[in-house]
Amino acid sequence: MISSKVAMQAYQSAISQFQNTHGQTSQKISGQESAYPSFADTMKSSVGKVNDMQETKTQMVNEFAAGKNENVHELMIEMQKASTAMNLTSAVRGKVVTAYKELMSVPF
């Protein structure tokens, strides 16, 4: 399987380049903590940011409806940012669920 060897070499090259750029290692070795956040921490952080964007959008809509803010441009930009972030989050969730299902169907 030449393709898997090439893929593994590309992966290892990307990891070493990333480590050289950041001067840190991302592997756990004999109980040492990783220098990078885990996948779960990254996902929690990303979902938290999307939630913050949704809350900001809701607050701006409420302020606009109450007449406190009359800037339609900022409102529309914030609404679009929140919508795009939510769509991207949904797409990532779908890909993660698909990957999980594929992994669960792999026979060991």
Place of tokens 């302020």: 63
Q: What is the pLDDT of residues 60-99, one digit of tens each?
A: 999 999 999 888 999 999 999 999 999 999 999 999 999 9
Q: What is the pLDDT of residues 31-51, one digit of tens each?
A: 556 678 888 888 888 999 999
Per-residue CA distances from 24 to 34, 35, 41, 43, 78 (Å): 9, 7, 18, 21, 36
Residue spans of the domains in the chain: they are: 38-108
Instruction: Give the predicted TM-score (pTM) of the model.
Output: 0.61
Asked whether residue 9 carries a pLDDT value surpassing 90, the answer given is no
CB 57 within 8 A of CB 76: no
What is the Cα–Cα distance from 84 to 58, expressed in whole angstroms? 15
Hey, what are 81's tokens? 């940012």
Long-range contacts of 36-41 (CB under 8 A, 24+ apart): none
